Amino acid sequence: MDSIEMVPLMVTPGIRKYEHTHNEPFRSIIARADSAFENANSILCVGYGFNDNHIQPKLIDKMRQGKTPILIATKKLSDSGMRFIKSATSSTVFGIEEFKSGTRIVFSDKEEIIEELSFWSLEELIKLVI
């Protein structure tokens, strides 16, 4: 089997960010992400800030359909992430973030606080699920 030489690529913020993401390998990666969102039975977003309009259209479609559970786990929900949650029409979309010594759970129409448990942390969230 031939070895494939890989060159690391990074898209940095700036004027040419969106131009770069319309070229390979990003085009193929975005197409696969779109397919994954379309076929997902549930979605876990870890640390995603909801500021990439070229990435999230299929995620927004899933949210609007209101059938697929979407959990956003992060240390601090971004303003864009909060708008995403608040615009959901069902309780299948919610976010968890750090709150003092615990976790704040944010739904479109309410919030809950869990004291002394850090479910926003991926390590603690995994312990909860497993």
Asked if 8 and 2 touch (Cβ cutoff 8 Å), the reply is no
- pLDDT of 3 reads 66
Q: What is the DSSP string of 52-91?
A: -TTT-HHHHHHHHHT-S-EEEE-SS--HHHHHHHHT-SST
Biggest CA–CA distance in the chain, Å, is: 55
Asked if 77 and 97 touch (Cβ cutoff 8 Å), the reply is yes
Decide if 12 is inside a domain. Answer: no
Decide if 4 is inside a domain. Answer: no
Q: Could you tell me the residue range of the domain that residue 74 belongs to?
A: 17-129
Compute the Cα dihedral for 30, 81, 51, 6 and give only its sign.
negative
- 10-residue mean pLDDT profile of the chain (130 residues): values are 69 75 82 92 92 85 92 96 93 95 96 94 89
Decide if 83 is inside a domain. Answer: yes
Decide if 123 is inside a domain. Answer: yes
Decide if 3 is inside a domain. Answer: no
- pLDDT of 20 reads 75
Q: Report yes or no on whether pTM surpasses 0.75.
A: yes
CA dist 71 and 85 (Å) reads: 9
Round the CA-based radius of gyration of the chain to a whole number and report it. Answer: 17
- pLDDT of 98 reads 97
CA dist 84 and 92 (Å) reads: 12
- State how many domains the chain has: 1
Residue 25: CATH number of its domain = 3.30.870
| Closest to 93 measured CA to CA, from 128, 53, 43 | 43
Decide if 77 is inside a domain. Answer: yes
